Structure 1
Amino acid sequence: MYDKILSFDLPNHMDYEREVAGTFIRMSITEKWQKGYISNLEYLMHLNTLAGRSFNDLTQYPVFPFVLSDFESEEIDLSDPAFYRDLNLPMGAISKERFERHYQMKYDMQLETGEEPFMYGTHYSNLGSVLHFLIRLAPFSYYFIEFQGGSFDVPDRSFHSILQTWRLASSLSSADVKELIPSFYILPEFLENLNSYDMGVMQRGTEIS
């Protein structure tokens, strides 16, 4: 029976005899990911750990990328590349128009004036952006209030829409190039206001929940 089971195509089957022999153990993290031994999530967490990022440090919090680029369609086809963000590009270069108008132009001007050139004046992850996403989840809610000087942020600036977050970071704002945090992929509860915090009402009359 065991041999019959092994005769099937088992994508997650691991050859433990080979592992004991050392081949699997000697593989790099990237090789294990490429061969399907570890998931995308596990691979990204390994990369974050190797980069010195940790859940214990909000200033060096793990970074996960935007993967999708369509947050408006009622249904998405995960086999269609059109629904995905181009992972070859950083967030600041997703929109060619924004990149050329803001970042490339500034970079070229700095070169001309002899300044030390740089592309972005902000970072894809920082303390503020991490707390921005985790505003509804204790104890991060309290850290956010302390970070803001004793109160929640202006309602219109609070995290209330993944679509709006994508639009700002990918094209609309020249001061926003942030990526996501692991909670988007492993902790859906962070999107719920389980503690019923009063985070105010936006200018258009929508209550932040």
Structure 2
Amino acid sequence: PVGALNPTRKAFFIERYNNWESDTMPPFHYGTHYSTAAFTLSWLIRLEPFTTFYLNLQEGKFDHANRVFHSIPVSWQNCQRDSSDVKELIPEFFSLPEMFTNCNHYKLGRTEDGLKVDDVILPKWAETPEDFIRINRAALESEFVSCHLHHWIDLIFGYKQRGLL
């Protein structure tokens, strides 16, 4: 799972679970779900009808620019170090290059360091959104992923959800 991307992060969540001391709430690894409608809307904020749904969720305003999805490298950094960021990727990361382009010219604001939030900043290895999708899809369809995908499916949807019974 995204919460165990590296040994330090995995250890943090295991320690939190093992040291939980509440009488009213059972222990948990993650304080939020890895997939919510709000996460999907934030990934797809540049495309209708998701923009409208996002604005309805946010009382008619875009969120603070620092929290708007604006950079794949920044999102990758955050999911490796931020204990509240356990978002999984959505299928569109493998099929919809338009999600990375602000084709409707929404005014998404400026980050605290002055960066205008517009098109999504891609990793250095992807020259265009189409290139990103092609490479991401090739990774998803690789032999390695094909040989291990069933573990993720069992964890998210199957018997590994509950651990040892």
Tell me the TM-score normalised to structure 2 length. 0.67
What is the number of equivalent residue pairs in this alignment?
117
Q: Which amino acid aligns with 1:180?
A: L
Segments of 4+ moved more than 3 angstroms: 112-115
Instruction: Measure the CA separation in 1 of the matches of 2:5 and 2:98.
Output: 29
Cα distance per residue 1:175-200 (max 9 Å; x no partner): 01111111111110111111111111
The alignment's C-alpha RMSD in Å is: 1.4
Q: Are 1:96 and 2:40 an aligned pair?
A: no
Question: Gaps spanning 5+ residues in structure 1: where?
Answer: 1-89
Match of 1:173 in 2: 82
Instruction: Measure the CA separation in 2 of the matches of 1:108 and 1:125.
Output: 24
Identify the match of residue 138 of structure 1 among 17, 40, 48. Answer: 48
- Greater Rg over alpha carbons, structure: 1
Match of 2:58 in 1: 148
Instruction: Measure the CA separation in 1 of the matches of 2:85 and 2:51.
Output: 22
Instruction: Measure the CA separation in 2 of the matches of 1:184 and 1:100.
Output: 28
| Cα displacement (A) at 1:99 | 2.2
Match of 2:111 in 1: 202
Instruction: Measure the CA separation in 2 of the matches of 1:139 and 1:186.
Output: 17
Cα distance per residue 1:26-85 (max 9 Å; x no partner): xxxxxxxxxxxxxxxxxxxxxxxxxxxxxxxxxxxxxxxxxxxxxxxxxxxxxxxxxxxx
| Cα displacement (A) at 1:127 | 1.1
Instruction: Measure the CA separation in 1 of the matches of 2:71 and 2:60.
Output: 23
| Cα displacement (A) at 1:147 | 0.7
Instruction: Measure the CA separation in 1 of the matches of 2:95 and 2:57.
Output: 25
Instruction: Measure the CA separation in 1 of the matches of 2:22 and 2:101.
Output: 49
Q: In structure 2, do the counterparts of structure 1 residues 193 and 105 end up closer, same or farther at CA, with 3 Å as the change threshold?
A: same
Q: Which amino acid aligns with 2:15?
A: M
Match of 2:162 in 1: none
